[in-house]
Amino acid sequence: MRSLVWRKLGHWIVLLIFTGLLAFPFYWMLITTFKQTSDLYNLQNNPFRFNAAPTLDNLRLLFGQTLYLRWLGNTVLIGVIVVAITLLLAVPAAYALARLTGRWGQRLGIAIFLTYLVPPTLLFLPLSRVVAFLGLQDTIWSVVVVYPSFTVPFSIWLLMGFFKSIPRDLEDAALVDGLTPFGAFMKLVVPISTSGILTVVIFTFTLVTQEFIYALTFISTAEHQTVSVGVPIFLVRGDVYYWGSLMAACLIASLPIAFVYNLFLDRFIAGFTVGAVKG
């Protein structure tokens, strides 16, 4: 009995420690968002609380003197389109590679994943020629064309593991019941792989929102920029950092993603395949 109590106590202590560590960046961004500049730069003040009255000047600067809302809209639009393209290409490709017999499927999957590891600093020059050839310079469509070059390989590699965990017996049984191979894939494999597909959606959208090199290279007009480029360009002016506005921009952009991560956390780790086999 006593060992059980200590085990639960240790569990809660570890949980509280990790929760505090993960929540601290959001707390710091929230505090900095409403801090006065004089309070923030005074080294004698406690940085973790308000030493002066909170202010809304940082938010006024962010929303009144920048195109932050436009950047958010561009980022969401690009993210949704890239996610759709990624799923359209990665899901059937990952399923085909996962079902290849022998070692070819695994070798091709590794080769595709290796393309994801190529640094963007080596690719933005040749890709800029492609964007120029297509006439997409300084538009959001330039990054819509480029981003799948690294989201699709990563998604294929990730989904291959989910598809390999699905027993072939389930598909064989579906074929015996009269479904076509495509029907078995859509009505059986895809629903079972919902957790993997959802993970791909979240990770792809996150990769798009935090990408910097391509967005900086292919887009120069402020109206077409994304959050990852527009915020540092317009809120870092020489050696002047508008920390309050910077933290507000980061907090507003990161909270929805963090909420979605926590909302679907159980879906990421749930054993869908095990449930289907036992069903």
16 located within any domain: no
* Cα separation, 198 vs 178, whole angstroms: 28
Q: Looking at residue 267, what is its pLDDT?
A: 64
Could you tell me the CATH number of the domain that includes residue 198?
A: 1.10.3720.10
| H-only helix segments in the chain | 2-33, 37-41, 57-64, 68-99, 104-116, 120-134, 140-146, 148-164, 168-176, 181-184, 190-192, 194-210, 213-218, 227-235, 243-263, 265-269, 272-278
Q: Looking at residue 142, what is its pLDDT?
A: 92
Task: State how many domains the chain has.
Answer: 1
105 located within any domain: yes
Give residue-wise pLDDT tens across range 18-40: 888 888 989 989 999 999 988 88
Mean pLDDT by 10 residues, the chain (279 residues): 76 86 89 91 86 91 92 94 94 84 68 76 83 89 91 85 79 79 81 83 88 89 91 87 92 86 68 40
Q: Looking at residue 1, what is its pLDDT?
A: 64
Q: Looking at residue 173, what is its pLDDT?
A: 81
> Is pTM, for the whole model, over 0.75?
yes
Q: Looking at residue 60, what is its pLDDT?
A: 93
35 located within any domain: no
Q: Looking at residue 275, what is its pLDDT?
A: 39
Element (H, E) at 240: strand 240-241
173 located within any domain: yes
Distances (CA, A) of 98 to 81, 110, 111, 169, 224: 26, 12, 14, 15, 39
Shortest CA distance to 90 belongs to which of 167, 146, 150? Answer: 150
Shortest CA distance to 149 belongs to which of 176, 180, 117? Answer: 117
Q: Looking at residue 96, what is its pLDDT?
A: 85
46 located within any domain: no
15 located within any domain: no
Q: What is the DSSP string of 116-150?
A: HTS-HHHHHHHHHHHHHHHT-TTSHHHHHHHTHHH
Q: Looking at residue 184, what is its pLDDT?
A: 81
With vertex at residue 225, the alpha carbon angle to CA 219 and CA 146, rounded to the nearest 5 degrees, is 55
Which structural domain, as residue segments, surrounds residue 65? Answer: 55-278
Inter-axis angle of helices 68-99 and 57-64, nearest 10: 70
